Amino acid sequence: MNQGKYVFSQLTGYLPQRVFDGFVKKHDGNRYVKHFTCWNQLLCMLFGQLTNRESLRDLIVALDAHSG
């Protein structure tokens, strides 16, 4: 039984989201975004790296498995 935060949540706690949002705003990264923001993309790519995914298709399958 989980008693605290998941490891992924603990690791992303060290990422300074305000600094990242500043970079995104500076470069207008979310200009044409409807729902999948730069922050969401960063978290997906980080998840792919930490779980050693070999392709984007593999990453999508893993994310769909965890969507519930």
Is pTM beyond 0.85? Reply is no
Q: What is the pLDDT of residues 18-49, one digit of tens each?
A: 999 999 999 999 999 999 999 999 999 999 99
The H or E element spanning position 49 is helix 38-50
Using CA atoms, how far apart are residues 34 and 4, in angstroms rounded to an integer?
Answer: 32
Q: What is the pLDDT of residues 7-16, one digit of tens each?
A: 889 999 999 9
Report which residue type is found at 66.
Answer: H
The tokens 């995104």 sit on which residue?
A: 24
Report which residue type is found at 13.
Answer: G
The tokens 């978290």 sit on which residue?
A: 43
The tokens 């603990």 sit on which residue?
A: 10
